[in-house]
């Protein structure tokens, strides 16, 4: 099964200049706890934005070119989706914008940190029809005056 995990702003903001828009400690912790032990799939630009491999997870990078240092490299998204969308194993798509857009129609779960703030961004989470999902609120919090909600959408 394919799941998406992302932190998004009021206007679906995801990233700016190759970096995250929001740096929330609690969100980083939630991301780590949720994805630990799983396969994590990311685009080459997100891979390059990381300080290193995400520990205790299988790091899978999508690129049309060779990738150094990853556990696995995918160049064909369609085959990967066909092989993985009906598995019991939960595989996490961790960004960025182009990769969320490619996987969104096939994702059973969306773990979104909905940040109640707008920000400058050059990469955005794709719009999706929320009426197609069941929405569960996992937790609300705030950090440095920024409020956020961990929401899980399930199809």
Ligand X SMILES: NC(=O)c1ccc[n+]([C@@H]2O[C@H](COP(=O)([O-])OP(=O)(O)OC[C@H]3O[C@@H](n4cnc5c(N)ncnc54)[C@H](OP(=O)(O)O)[C@@H]3O)[C@@H](O)[C@H]2O)c1
The residues of the shown chain that bind ligand X, judged by CB under 6 A, are: 6-7, 14-15, 18-20, 42-46, 49, 62-65, 75, 77, 94-99, 102, 123
Residue 76 half-sphere exposure toward CB, CA atoms < 13 A: 6
- Nearest alpha carbon to residue 48 among 65, 25, 31: 65
DSSP letter for each residue of 72-118: EEES-HHHHHHHHTT-SS-EEE---HHHHHHHGGG-SEEEEEEES--
Which residue, 56 or 75, is less far from ligand X as judged by CB? 75
Which residue, 8 or 88, is less far from ligand X as judged by CB? 8
Q: Measured from the CB of residue 126, what is the shortest distance to ligand X in angstroms?
A: 10
- Between strands 2-8 and 91-93, the pairing is parallel
Q: Measured from the CB of residue 58, what is the shortest distance to ligand X in angstroms?
A: 17
Q: Measured from the CB of residue 40, what is the shortest distance to ligand X in angstroms?
A: 10
Which residue, 83 or 88, is less far from ligand X as judged by CB? 83
Which residue, 1 or 81, is less far from ligand X as judged by CB? 81
């Amino acid at each position: 099964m394919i799941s998406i995990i992302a932190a998004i702003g009021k206007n679906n903001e995801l990233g700016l200049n190759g970096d995250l828009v929001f740096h929330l400690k609690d969100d980083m912790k939630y991301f780590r706890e949720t994805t630990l032990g799983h396969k994590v799939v990311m685009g080459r630009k997100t891979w390059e934005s990381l300080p290193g491999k995400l520990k205790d997870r299988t790091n899978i990078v999508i690129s049309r070119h060779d990738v150094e240092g990853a556990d696995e490299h995918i160049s064909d998204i369609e085959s990967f989706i066909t092989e993985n969308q009906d598995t019991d194993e939960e595989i996490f798509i961790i960004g960025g914008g182009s990769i969320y857009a490619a996987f969104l129609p096939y994702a059973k779960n969306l773990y979104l940190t909905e940040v109640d703030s707008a920000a400058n961004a050059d990469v955005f989470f794709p719009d999706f029809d929320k009426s197609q999902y069941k929405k569960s609120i996992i937790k609300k919090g705030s950090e440095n005056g920024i409020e956020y909600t961990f929401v899980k959408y399930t199809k």
